[in-house]
Amino acid sequence: MRIFLSLTVWAFLSVISLRAEDKPNIIYIVADDIGWKDVGFQGAKDILTPNIDKLASQAAKLDQFYVQPMCTPTRAALMTGRYPMRYGLQTLVVPSKGSYGLAKDEYLLPQVLKDAGYDTAMVGKWHLGHADADYWPRQRGFDYFYGAVLGEIDYFTREAHGVLDWQRNNKAVKEKGYVTELLGDDAVKVIDDHNTKNPLFLYLAFTAPHAPYQAPQKYIDRFANIPNETRRVYAGMISCMDDQVGRVVAALKEKGMLENSIIVFHSDNGGTTNARLTGESKVKELPCDNSPLRGGKGGLYEGGTRVPAFIFWPGHIAAGELNGLYHITDMLPTLAAVSGGSTANCKPLDGSDVSASLTGKGPSPRSEIVYNIEPFRAAVREGDWKLVWRTVLPTQVELFNLKTDPNETTNVAAENPQVVQELQARIEKLSKEAAKPLFFGTALDAVMAGAFGPATIPVEDEAVPQQP
């Protein structure tokens, strides 16, 4: 009997071990402020992204993948699987003099994956709190961190407002080089040094092509055909990022990890169409192209929240286009499910496990998109109907049918009062569940003092943006 029990326990433990070895590596790549039409697989004609495009051709392209309007809220939603309104990060971003960050009682994606046996590494931009070291990546579940904790840094000096923002494992690093290339170098090194006995979760969060618009001359020279100077530099930034993505894929292949890796790619929000959100006073013409979508970064129209996205997982996710609805909050429960992780320690999730949909076993379970809920504006989508509600004076209610009008050109609120009423009721309910935006505290004082840039709250751009 003892022998039988011992053999049973041994067999059970062997199965667990085998499953651990079979868990997919997860390489999660986020671009910063890239436009809807600024990568090749989305139809860009003047910007070349061959490495990203090659991955996309072998991946599921998520045509309706939604994020938050700005980078701090999107990154928070990814890390928690919860809407940023739940913990006060729904408005703007954490400014350089902001003392707050992502709530410390939230259980984050790297913690979930670490519990599931993953080695966890982050390379790139954090932007979820910097004033207190307890907000930093190493204290939030990452075994390793290299990059910047703020949101915007100079690409050559790695400074923000004259202060160095560049570290490795909580210690400042002074080195030469261009940020995007340094991030690529480090991501490759993480892969090269990885012990393949454990699965790897690598969160690679590029700062490119976020302002300031800077690139090495060799990358700018690739786009001599682009007449607009700012877009030429912007194209060079994207091209450099594309090269680094290619290097990461090559490193995974060389290490024998590629065939058992999930690679996610998307932008953190739409391309910038509002000059007040760039901090670049000298830029006369913004370089991003969100066409044919309306609006851009900071706004609740599709151009600010619907982003280029794909998921690569050979042998599990078929190449092609998936037209269902997907939201950034879905990524935590989905990655937990495919990795054997548990979300038991997380607070109630807003995201859903969409792994069955991604692997072709059914449609997306999602019918609702919550674009954002703030005291002065909100937007939700249910099925094909989308309501954008600006509550500050003068108030404005807009209703769009995204099936017939995906570019939000015609407000049909007057013709559909019942739909408006139902979606407004949904927004009211969500607003009662929302925490007060942390931005409306000490951070707002810092903004008014000029520490963040222009003292402005994003207002929807009512014009359909023109292509640069």
Active site residue 130: no
Of the residues 71, 240, 288, 346, only one is catalytic, namely 71
**Bridging pattern class, strands 171-172 and 167-168:** antiparallel
Of the residues 127, 130, 194, 210, only one is catalytic, namely 127
The token duo for 92 is 């703007």
The token duo for 24 is 């997919």
Closest CA to 277 of 440, 452, 126, 129: 452
DSSP 134: G
| Contact call for residues 113 and 120 (beta carbons, < 8 A) | yes
Beta-sheet strand order (sheet of 167-168): 171-172, 167-168, 144-148, 119-125, 200-205, 25-31, 261-267, 309-312, 60-66, 320-327
| Contact call for residues 127 and 150 (beta carbons, < 8 A) | yes
Active site residue 288: no
3-state SS class at 236: helix
Closest CA to 97 of 466, 461, 439, 467: 439
The token duo for 301 is 């129209």
**Bridging pattern class, strands 159-160 and 163-164:** antiparallel
Q: Which residues are catalytic?
A: 71, 127
